[in-house]
Amino acid sequence: MKKVYFDTRRCLGCHSCEFACAVEHSESKSPAKAIREEHTPVARRHVRLAEGICVSVTCRHCDPAPCVEACIAGAMHKDDVTGEVTCDVDCCVGCWMCVMVCPFGAVRPGEIYTIKCDMCPDRQDGYACVESCPTGALFTATQEEFEEIRDQKRRERQPAGKS
């Protein structure tokens, strides 16, 4: 499964990812119209400042997923094939157990049901947050691809002559 990863060194804290996510989850899918909708669209991703570093927080689709294990209504579930963790909003009872156990603060209470990244199911060409990021701080990769990117960046930062 490809996931959305985040490079803290590239994030400007511009909130473009939040805005794009909210628009993607609006009825109109239009930035100009979304702000006037009866139900204000809610972003599934949020940018936080932590010790002087901007961090874009979203669901990591954990394995195992604490939110799935804690869900008393069975609304949270993990797809065995794709690895995506989703919330069945028709089953969610708003107990917020998933919110309490999420180690990343990525699952949030909505007005009626849990709000979390749903991997932009209506989009065919990638994720709204990734496409909107002006610096490339957000990117998609498999776990293996991410580990290779991470290892490559470590090698680039290592002083010459050291292994």
The DSSP secondary structure of 88-151, one letter per residue, reads -TTT--S--HHHHH-TTS--EE-SSSEE-----TT-SSS-HHHHH-TTS-EEEE-HHHHHHHHH
pLDDT at 90 over 60: yes
Amino acid at 23: V
**pLDDT, average across residues 120-146:** 93
> Omega into 134 within 30° of 0, i.e. cis?
no
pLDDT in the model for residue 159: 76
pLDDT at 46 over 90: yes
Distance (Å, whole) CA 112 – CA 89: 8
Q: Helix or strand or coil: residue 61?
A: coil
Closest listed residue to residue 114, CA positions, set 81, 140, 77: 77
pLDDT band at 130 (very low <50, low <70, confident <90, very high): very high
Q: List the beta bridge partners of residue 86.
A: 77
The neighbour count for residue 31, using CB atoms within 10 Å, is 12
Closest listed residue to residue 114, CA positions, set 124, 101, 126: 101
Higher pLDDT, residue 157 or 134? 134
Residues in the chain, total: 163
**pLDDT, average across residues 64-77:** 96
Q: Report the run of H or E that residue 18 belongs to, with start and end.
A: helix 16-24
pLDDT digits (tens, 9 = 90+) for 19-40: 999 999 999 999 999 989 998 8
pLDDT in the model for residue 162: 62
pLDDT in the model for residue 27: 95
CB 48 within 8 A of CB 55: yes
What is the reported pTM? 0.86
Higher pLDDT, residue 160 or 44? 44
